[in-house]
Amino acid sequence: MKKFLCFSLMLLCLLLGALLGELRPNKSHGFVIVENKSNEVVHEVEIKIMDLQIKIPEMDINGHVVGRFEIPGDSHYDILVLFKSGKKMDLSSGYMTNGLDSYDLFVITQDGIEHHSIPPFNINSSSISN
């Protein structure tokens, strides 16, 4: 009887630990790609997400930058692009929240900034062929 009670107590502790681990807040990450498809050199790109500020220095024509950040909470992107010529563009777009990773592509063109949400990559997908 003591063995059964000890085994049951251990099993209960394991289940309780697993449950508490699932309830713990999950750190979510955002992954962003910025591409310069304009015909101008970009002096700087500034991305703001709540209190988080990311600055990307000069980007050549057809250049790109890939970045990763921790999602600070429910928010969106505020993007400001400054060109070498002095021209400015801005965009407020997107949505992110804790618990979900975010994958976003921003394409800088002559006419504006395009935002595309990218579905998460699954490298174990059966659709990938060699």
Give the count of beta carbons closer than 10 Å to the beta carbon of residue 100.
13
Q: How far apart are alpha carbons 52 and 74 in whole angstroms?
A: 12
8 A C-beta contact, residue 107 and residue 37: yes
Domain boundaries, the chain: 29-117
CATH class of 29-117: mainly beta
Backbone conformation region of residue 50, classed left if phi is above 0, alpha if psi is from -120 to 50, else beta: left
pTM: 0.72
Task: Output the pLDDT for position 18.
Answer: 55
Task: Output the pLDDT for position 127.
Answer: 40
pLDDT (tens, 9 = 90+) of the chain, 130 residues, equals: 776 666 566 655 555 555 555 554 567 899 999 999 999 999 999 999 999 999 999 999 999 999 999 998 899 999 999 999 999 999 999 988 888 888 999 999 999 999 999 876 554 444 444 3
